[in-house]
Amino acid sequence: MHSDTAPDARHTASGAAAPQTPTWDPGQYLRHADHRARPFLDLLARVGALPTAPARIADLGCGPGNVTALLTGRWPDARITGYDLSPQMLRRAEEEYAGPTPGGGSLDFRHGDLADWVPGEPYDLIVSNAALQWVPGHPGSFARWIDGLRPGGTFAFQVPGNFTAPSHRLLAELCDTPRWRDRLGGLAARHTDTLEPGEYLDRLTGLGCTADVWETTYHQLLQGPDPVLDWVKGTALRPVLTTLGDDRPAVDRFLAEYRRALREAYPPGPRGTVFPFRRVFAVARKEA
Ligand SMILES: C[S@@+](CC[C@H](N)C(=O)[O-])C[C@H]1O[C@@H](n2cnc3c(N)ncnc32)[C@H](O)[C@@H]1O
C-alpha cells in the first residue's frame, strides 16, 4: 500500500455534516465472501485471451484483495495491481496477498481514487468488481481507461443493479424519516450512480469496443439470524455506520429499526433467507 487516507470530514454551508468517505470493515465484508466472489468469476469467464503475456492487469476497487488474487488462477504469470481508496481494505489485501505469485507473477496493492485514476502504463486487462457503484460519474472515465488498454485489451466490470430492491429502498426510507433525516438524509441514495445494461452497452460500443453486457439475478440463500442486515453491514450500510461513528446508542437504534424492516421484507424460510441480488456485467474489448 502506498499511502493511507483518513475519511474525509466535510461540512455543508449550513454546518451539517456532509457525507464522509465510508470506512470499510474487511472482516465484515468477507463474511459473505463466497457470494460476493461468484459474480467476479462469472465476469472473468467472459474475458477472452489477453494481448500480451505475461499480462499487466489492474483491479479497480480491489477491496480486501481476495478477488484480485483469483486473477492469478487464470493468468498465473501476470503482474497485477489492485487499487483502492480504503486504508482498511488495502491493509488486509497487502497482509494476505501482496508479493510474488506461484506462477512467476506478482500482486501489489496501491492507494488510488477511481474518480481520477488514470492508467499509468499500458494494461492488458482493467477489471472492477462491485466497486464502480461507489464512484459517481464513473462512465465518464471509460474513455481514459480504455485509452490505457493495449490494442486487443479488455475492460471488464460488474456493478450491483439492486438499488430499488427492498434492502436499499428501506435503508433510504429510514435515513429520510424525521428521526434520522438531520444526520442521515439522502445518504443511502448517494451511490446509485449506475447505468442500465443497455446504457453501458451504448457507452462502450460508442468508444469503439466490442461489448458483451448482461445482467443476472442471484437468488442467494443466506444463513443465520438477520443475514440481510449482516450482508449490508459490509456494504450499503457503510456510509450510515461511518456517519454515526462511535455514537453507539444511535447505531443500535438505527440498526434495530432497519433490522425490523428487513425481517419483514426478507422472512427466513425453512432452508435459509432468500436475498435476490441483481448484478450488471460488461466486458469490452478494444480493437486489436
Ligand atoms: C464492495 S467493495 C468490492 C471489493 C472487491 N472488488 C470485491 O469484489 O470484493 C467496494 C470497494 O470499492 C472501494 N472504493 C469505493 N470508492 C472508491 C474510489 N473512489 N476509489 C477507489 N476505490 C473505491 C471501496 O474502498 C471498497 O474496497
Residue in 129, 117, 200 with CA at minimum distance from that of residue 160: 129
φ and ψ at 248, to 5 degrees?
A: -55, -45
Ligand 1 centroid, distance to 175 Cα (angstroms):
23
Bridge partners of residue 227, in order along the sequence = none
pLDDT of res. 186: 84
Residue in 64, 133, 34, 55 with CA at minimum distance from that of residue 101: 55
pLDDT mean values, one per 10 residues, the chain (288 residues):
33 42 90 94 98 98 98 98 97 98 97 96 98 94 98 98 94 95 84 87 98 98 96 93 95 97 97 98 97
pTM: 0.92
Which residue from 80, 85, 117, 141 has its CB within 8 A of the most atoms of ligand 1, so it is best to mutate? 85
Domains of the chain, by residue range, sit at 26-285
Number of the ligand 1 atom closest to the C-alpha atom of 62? 6
pLDDT of res. 187: 82
Ligand 1 centroid, distance to 270 Cα (angstroms):
34
Grid coordinates standing for 260? Answer: 425490523
Task: Evaluate whether 123 touches 150 at the Cβ level (below 8 Å).
Answer: yes
Number of the ligand 1 atom closest to the C-alpha atom of 59? 6
Which residue from 20, 32, 89 has its CB within 8 A of the most atoms of ligand 1, so it is best to mutate? 89
Instruction: Give me the architecture of the 26-285 domain, per CATH.
Output: 3-Layer(aba) Sandwich (3.40)
100 SS3 class = strand
